Structure 1
Amino acid sequence: MALLAQSVHSSQQSLLIKLDNINHSEWLDYAALHLGSEYQGYIKRLMQLEAAISQHEIGLYGVCADCEQPIEQSRLNIDLACQRCIKCEEKYAQ
Structure 2
Amino acid sequence: MNENLKNQYQVKLQTELDQIRHEFLADLKQASNHATEALIDTLQSSPPHEWVDIATDRICPGQFPNFERLVKVEAAICQMDIGQFGYCCDCEKKIEDTLLAADPAAQRCLECVSKQK
TM-score of the superposition, structure 2-length normalised? Answer: 0.65
Aligned length: 92
Matched, 1:71 2:95: yes
1:1-94 matched pairs, under 5 angstroms: 1-5=25-29, 8-36=32-60, 37-39=62-64, 41-91=65-115, 93-94=116-117
Aligned-residue RMSD, C-alpha: 2.1
Bigger CA drift: 23-32 or 58-67?
A: 23-32
Distance 1:9 1:78, change over 3 A: same
Overall identity of the aligned pairs, in %? 36
Structure 2: state its 5+ residue gaps.
1-24
Deviations 1:14-58 (A, max 9, x none): 11222244454432122132235532x211111110110011111
- TM-score norm. by structure 1 comes to 0.78
Cα offset for 1:79? 0.9
Structure 2: which amino acid aligns with 1:38?
Q
Richer in helix (by share): 2
Please give the alpha-carbon distance, in whole angstroms, between the structure 2 residues aligned to 1:47 and 1:87: 22
What 5-or-longer segments of structure 1 have no aligned partner?
A: none
Residue 2 of structure 1 deviates from its aligned partner by 4.2
